[in-house]
Structure 1
Amino acid sequence: MGRVLPLLALRAFAETGRHGSIKRAAEAMGVTSGAVSQQLRLLEQRSGAPLFSRTRYGVELTEVGASVHPAVLRAFDQIEHGLDLLEARNAAQSITICTVPSFAASWLVPRLGRFTSRHPEIEVRVEASSELVDLRKGRVDVAIRHGLGDYPGLDAIHLMAPELIPVASPALLAGGPRLTEPGDCLAYPLLQDSDRADWRLWLKAMGIEGDARIERGPSFDDDFLLIRAAEAGQGIALIRDIYAKEEIASGRLAVAIERPWPTAFAYYAVTLPHVAERPAIARFVAWLMEEAQAG
């Protein structure tokens, strides 16, 4: 006990005996053939006995080498099995979540501490990206997406359906025309989403169509940017209510006119089927549902 073991030399011995070839052992270890040969010489010097003899086909174990090789090989196989178990356990307790930056910043991240307090054994990694991900590739465990819930071959769990509300800087509203009807918003610059669809759909739901002013105004590809532009007094923005709660509560934004509009789109937690087979994922999705219901 307490001896320093020549693990690299023993691994070279185990792999060379397994493959009957120094070259193939080197490939298995990711080193050069010369490095394997050097380690074998060191082990033979330490043991005081030859472990391999050369043949026309490669190398073969000597009588001494053959007597100890099964035990050494079994030991490395057990180490590798133990490492596999360790990595599998770590993977089972680590999950990656992907969602759009605005949802991550405004809703998910501020609440995430409650999950880690409840489940400190689960490590959560959050990726904020607007790009679609392929859950089947295994990099992402849960995708939180805004849509209609139609995700073929995947499980989509409804979380919440935010409403669109028109918001603006209080200073802009105080210095501009009075807003009493939805159509009065057209007297202000409109801050558009990337598709320039939200204002058109919201005004159509309010009975207003065909006005050229509906399509004008700068567009932004993320709600977080829309919020910042509205805070800066650049116009009125249509924002999902869950994104603007903090800004409204602090007075940085104000609701321009009380006409919330519930769209058909909602947020879903999207996973591969059989999510219960990964308890960490199942616990995270259950927590998401609980937080969404709490508002």
Structure 2
Amino acid sequence: MTTSLPLLALRTFVEVGQRGSIKAAAEALSVTSGAVSQQIRLLEDRIGVALFTRERQGLRLTEAGANVHPALLQAFEQIEKVQQTLEQIKSRQTLTVSTVATFAASWLVPRLGRFNQRYPHIEVRVEATSAVVDMRRDRVDIALRHGLGVYPGLHATRLMAPVLVPVACPGLLAADAALKEPADCLDYPLLHDSDRADWRLWLAAHGVAQDPRAERGTAFEDDFLLIRAAEAGQGLALVPLEYAREEIVAGRLVQVLDKPWPARFAYYLVTQPGALQRPQVKAFADWILEEAQGEAAGPALACT
């Protein structure tokens, strides 16, 4: 039956063999010289073999000690590397953020590098979904949601309300048919989000009387699809300016009227009660509020 050797005694043997001195090994291990000598005697008694011989300059490994010392030294170096890895894992913090795909792609992800630079020890995992999230069951730390801010049992912080602008593919409008008034939009197919309310409300906000044409047209569940349909020339879309910024800059869409309008809904940062007391959640919440405030203060794109 194999004899189990005490780990502390093996560690002490490695230190003494590496330094050739009980005193130096004691300093490295932060123990007394007597404690080092006791561990060496314990190990030699357990295996029944002398591991060191005393010389004027200190201790020298016997043949038996020299045979096993390199392997044990390597083993303890590996253990130390594992301990360092475990410490790094312990110090690393993870954060799961759930949001809708369009907001993630158009707003959050392009800015996320700034958060990573500020908090390199926090690893962010972004889940893009429009489904209802059970934050406890799905292990979500933060949800970024578009709504009226009513989330029973959860803590909600308002981030920003998107500004809606009418956009279209440049080829949809004839060169001599530039839109001059909001009512002119009714002469074109209108593309809607899933609740079909935005065009009606936008037109009403700009003094256009109710018109059945405001309810017609294809509806899309996701703003990303709505923007793609507008790019394809299927009609006019009323979308958050930030979502279409890249397409406008690239010339794939044009803002057909300089008539922005605050959306009814806003974006909210949603957490479980007390979650903001966790350092990584608080750090992300503070950062995204700062980004949202900067967005609100930023310049808007002029119509093309």
| The two structures share one fold, judged by TM-score above 0.5 | yes
Structure 1 residues 112 and 216, CA gap change in structure 2 (3 angstroms)? same
Displacement after TM superposition at 1:243 (Å): 0.7
Cα contact 1:177–1:187 (8 A) shared by 2 = no
Secondary structure of 2:173's aligned partner: helix
Distance of 2:209 and 2:200 partners within structure 1 = 8
Structure 1 residues 220 and 138, CA gap change in structure 2 (3 angstroms)? closer
Show the counterpart of 1:98: 98
Structure 1 residues 93 and 235, CA gap change in structure 2 (3 angstroms)? same
Q: How does 1:19-168 map to 2 (within 5 A)?
A: 93-137=93-137, 139-168=139-168
Give deviations 1:58-87, integer Å, cap 9, x for gaps.
xxxxxxxxxxxxxxxxxxxxxxxxx9xx79
Distance of 2:244 and 2:288 partners within structure 1 = 19
Show the counterpart of 2:218: 218
Structure 1 residues 90 and 271, CA gap change in structure 2 (3 angstroms)? farther
Give deviations 1:210-259, integer Å, cap 9, x for gaps.
32211111111111111111111111100011211111122221111111
What is the aligned length?
A: 213
Give deviations 1:66-115, integer Å, cap 9, x for gaps.
xxxxxxxxxxxxxxxxx9xx79x759711111111110010001111111
Give deviations 1:184-227, integer Å, cap 9, x for gaps.
00111111111211112211222334322111111111111111
Distance of 2:138 and 2:196 partners within structure 1 = 34
Report the TM-score, using the length of structure 1 for normalisation. Answer: 0.67
Cα contact 2:97–2:141 (8 A) shared by 1 = yes
Structure 1 residues 225 and 204, CA gap change in structure 2 (3 angstroms)? same
Superposition CA RMSD, Å: 2.4
Distance of 1:290 and 1:160 partners within structure 2 = 11
Show the counterpart of 2:265: 265
Secondary structure of 1:183's aligned partner: helix
Structure 1 residues 4 and 280, CA gap change in structure 2 (3 angstroms)? farther
Cα contact 2:204–2:210 (8 A) shared by 1 = no
Cα contact 1:186–1:214 (8 A) shared by 2 = yes
Cα contact 2:92–2:121 (8 A) shared by 1 = no
Structure 1 residues 238 and 91, CA gap change in structure 2 (3 angstroms)? farther
Give deviations 1:25-78, integer Å, cap 9, x for gaps.
xxxxxxxxxxxxxxxxxxxxxxxxxxxxxxxxxxxxxxxxxxxxxxxxxxxxxx
Show the counterpart of 1:180: 180
Counterpart code for 2:255? V
Displacement after TM superposition at 1:158 (Å): 1.3
Structure 1 residues 102 and 90, CA gap change in structure 2 (3 angstroms)? farther
Distance of 1:137 and 1:250 partners within structure 2 = 41
Show the counterpart of 2:52: none
Q: Gapped runs of 5+ residues in structure 1?
A: 6-82
Counterpart code for 2:192? Q
Counterpart code for 1:165? V
Secondary structure of 1:105's aligned partner: helix
Show the counterpart of 1:252: 252
Distance of 2:220 and 2:172 partners within structure 1 = 19
Cα contact 1:101–1:130 (8 A) shared by 2 = yes
Secondary structure of 2:136's aligned partner: helix
Displacement after TM superposition at 1:277 (Å): 2.8
Cα contact 1:200–1:209 (8 A) shared by 2 = no
Displacement after TM superposition at 1:137 (Å): 2.4
Secondary structure of 2:196's aligned partner: coil
Secondary structure of 1:137's aligned partner: coil
Identity of matched residues, %: 61
Distance of 2:144 and 2:280 partners within structure 1 = 16
Structure with higher Rg: it is 2
Report the TM-score, using the length of structure 2 for normalisation. Answer: 0.65
Show the counterpart of 1:80: none
Distance of 1:220 and 1:209 partners within structure 2 = 25
